[in-house]
Amino acid sequence: MTRAPRRALPARSDAVLAVDGLTVVVAGEDGPRPVVSNLSFQLMRGETLCIAGESGSGKSMTALAIMGLLPKPGAKIAGGSIRLGGSELTDLSEGGMRAVRGSRVAMIFQEPMTSLNPVLTIGRQLTEAIMAHEPVGRGEAKRRAVAALDAVRIPEAASRMGQHPHELSGGMRQRVMIAMALALRPDVLIADEPTTALDVTVQGEVLELLRDLQRDLGTAVILITHDMGVVAEMAARVVVMRHGRMVESGAAATIFSNPREAYTRELLAAVPRIGEGAGRVATRLRELPAAGAARPVPVVEVADLAVRFDLHGGLLGRVDRRVHAVEGVSFSVGDRETLSLVGESGCGKSTTAKAIAGLVPYEGDILVGGRNIAGLPRSEAKALRRDVQMIFQDPYASLDPRMSVGDLVAEPMLIHGVASGAERRERVAGLFERVGLSPADTGKYPHEFSGGQRQRICIARALALRPKLIIADESVSALDVSVQARVLELLRELQAEFGIAFLFISHDMAVVENISDRVAVMYLGQIVETGTRDQIFTDPKHPYTQRLIAAVPVPDPSRKRHAFPRLDQDIPSPVRRVGDEPARLKLRDLGGGHLVAA
């Protein structure tokens, strides 16, 4: 494909970046295929422009084109212009772009662990980036690196310089990426889904940090996201993309209050909002049994659950420390009920789920249908575990790429001897229809489906044994808002149809409020508050619960939240030395909903 000629774009005097008629193509079996088509926008100095849209809309390819990082030889710019100040970036050689990247335009990627070198210290990576663009010695570069870490409010910045990426939390790693991007004070900062993988409280801190640094440095920001709450929180202007094309653009207030295009209206309507769940009828309305009447047996009961992992140290490799991942957790899930476990990463939500599913060793009691699964003979435990199935966060990692999706859904029935031959094929076809997929798709493989479709396949597989409880572990967090809304509605329908109870694990409080009957809040391996959905969201008692709810971005620019309370340290470590282990870690409130081990 020949590259289309550039046309002059009348840039405003305060425009630091001007994209005009940008077209990006990727190689395909039938020739080049456009993934970004005729895109134009301008970015003003000190402005935040959000590019929003679902996966595959061309957001990230636009960012990679600006950075000169398109994957070669498969993708290339086929037309248009990208001007940074007075420089035409599409005319620069690779050497010229290396000089621009970092010093004039920088990028923060979605997952910091894939962007940071795991074998180099934080300090080494920061100083190398500075020395690559500035004629300074290592001592001055180190001083600037520590100053950059201080600027992003990393405590004990000097000591962090000697740490490796795996020694930092997700929020701290993202702050290091921001420090690295802003160390050279670039004109433009591109943040590609910088908070999607972060907990809601850490997300709030990162967004507040970006606002502060933008105000102090005057940096223009392009924020790429599918989270419309983040868009409302951050954007001055918005570009909405779909299938590589701009659907509409304008001031954020206008886009949210009066969107012109149907797609934008659909995108906004799919966003879960705090407060909407209160108006939804609960999945199952419960009445207290009359005095003396027998209470129904819960589907699952968890009593004083503890999960600890040994850590070896010293010359002899003895166990000298333990990770108290879960400590003294108790709850129950009733028939047709949805109980949500919420909290930040590392609080013990997923470990609790894995203990119930029999995937990690534990102490305490787990009863399924009134029977304790511990100590049962292998055959009885296997039969009992049919009642508990799990849906994981990443559907692609949960599906064997070598098997057809029909065989993947049929596999649990084969393992447990449920149905055979024609009956099994008939049940698989029925499950595909029930989750909104065609029975004709059963012969395809996981890579032939979208993310939302793969999650539906995982739901069909979880339903194959007709369980009493399904554990959904962050099952919608990686999905676009419109796909997320459809999957949540499907879960509600299946619950009503099959009488399933759900243990729903999430850090997205808006989603939790829209699907839950009851909510349990976890922190440092413990449950700090439990209540009905309405109790938790309208009258939270615990300061940590209040902090979680306050951190949720509001998808309305006219209702931006108040300044987010900041934390000056990470979540305290759940690691305890052997012999220095209280039966239950005591928590002390530092204010603002932040707790530490007493």
Note the pLDDT tens digit of each residue in 512-526: 888 899 999 998 889
Q: What is the distance between the alpha carbons of residues 319 and 310, in angstroms, rounded to a whole number?
A: 6
pLDDT of 240: 93
pLDDT of 277: 58
In the predicted structure, residue 496 carries a pLDDT above the cut 90: no
Kindly indicate the confidence band of residue 84, based on its pLDDT and cuts at 50, 70 and 90: very high
In the predicted structure, residue 594 carries a pLDDT above the cut 90: no
Q: What is the distance between the alpha carbons of residues 108 and 189, in angstroms, rounded to a whole number?
A: 8
pLDDT of 288: 39
| DSSP label at residue 419 | -
pLDDT of 49: 94
Q: Does some domain include residue 110? A: yes
* 389 vs 195, more confident: 389
pLDDT tens string 6-47: 444 444 557 899 999 999 998 877 778 899 999 999 999 889
Q: Does some domain include residue 5? A: no
Q: Does some domain include residue 483? A: no
* 237 vs 279, more confident: 237
Structure tokens at 295: 């209470």
In the predicted structure, residue 581 carries a pLDDT above the cut 70: no
Structure tokens at 517: 């009957």
Averaged pLDDT for residues 413-418: 86
Q: What is the distance between the alpha carbons of residues 145 and 29, in angstroms, rounded to a whole number?
A: 46
**pTM of the complete model:** 0.73
Q: Does some domain include residue 399? A: no
For the ranges 68-72, 360-364, 477-481, 543-547, the lowest mean pLDDT is seen at: 477-481
Q: Where are the beta strands (DSSP E) in 369-466?
A: 371-372, 388-391
In the predicted structure, residue 187 carries a pLDDT above the cut 70: yes
In the predicted structure, residue 314 carries a pLDDT above the cut 80: no
pLDDT of 403: 94
* 269 vs 443, more confident: 443
* 451 vs 43, more confident: 43
In the predicted structure, residue 568 carries a pLDDT above the cut 50: no
Name residue 355's amino acid: A
Kindly indicate the confidence band of residue 546, based on its pLDDT and cuts at 50, 70 and 90: confident
Residues in the chain, total? 598
In the predicted structure, residue 333 carries a pLDDT above the cut 50: yes
pLDDT of 443: 92
In the predicted structure, residue 5 carries a pLDDT above the cut 90: no
Structure tokens at 377: 């003979």
* 411 vs 275, more confident: 411
* Percent of the chain with pLDDT strictly greater than 70: 85
Q: Does some domain include residue 1? A: no
- If you compute the radius of gyration of the chain from its CA atoms, what whole number of angstroms results? 26
> What separation in angstroms does the CA of 545 have from each of 200, 527, 593?
12, 11, 7
Say whether 457 sits in a helix, a strand or coil: helix
pLDDT of 148: 85
pLDDT of 272: 73
pLDDT of 197: 61
Going by C-alpha positions, the residue among 268, 248, 191, 241 that lies closest to residue 58 is 241
Structure tokens at 230: 């983040």
In the predicted structure, residue 273 carries a pLDDT above the cut 80: no
Domain total in the chain:
1
Q: Does some domain include residue 413? A: no
Whether 302 and 309 have beta carbons less than 8 Å apart is answered as: no
Query: Domain holding 86: CATH number?
Result: 3.40.50.300
580: number of Cβ within 10 Å: 8
Q: Does some domain include residue 339? A: no
In the predicted structure, residue 553 carries a pLDDT above the cut 50: yes
| DSSP label at residue 524 | T
- Tell me which residue range forms the domain holding 63: 15-269
* Segment of 62-71, 178-187, 193-202, 315-324 carrying the highest mean pLDDT: 62-71
Averaged pLDDT for residues 76-104: 89
Whether 540 and 529 have beta carbons less than 8 Å apart is answered as: yes
> What separation in angstroms does the CA of 547 have from each of 83, 143, 199, 205, 509?
42, 35, 12, 12, 11
**How far is CA 554 from its chain centroid?**
17
pLDDT of 101: 87
Q: What is the distance between the alpha carbons of residues 370 and 358, in angstroms, rounded to a whole number?
A: 16
For the ranges 158-172, 256-270, 467-481, 573-587, the lowest mean pLDDT is seen at: 573-587
135: left (phi over 0), alpha (psi -120 to 50) or beta: beta
Averaged pLDDT for residues 49-56: 86
- Indicate the average pLDDT of the chain: 81
Q: Does some domain include residue 571? A: no
In the predicted structure, residue 508 carries a pLDDT above the cut 50: yes
pLDDT of 589: 52
For the ranges 20-24, 354-358, 392-396, the lowest mean pLDDT is seen at: 392-396
Give backbone dihedrals phi and psi of 546, rounded to 5 degrees, phi first: -60, -40
* Percent of the chain with pLDDT strictly greater than 90: 25
Going by C-alpha positions, the residue among 152, 157, 151 that lies closest to residue 174 is 152
pLDDT of 562: 52
Kindly indicate the confidence band of residue 456, based on its pLDDT and cuts at 50, 70 and 90: confident
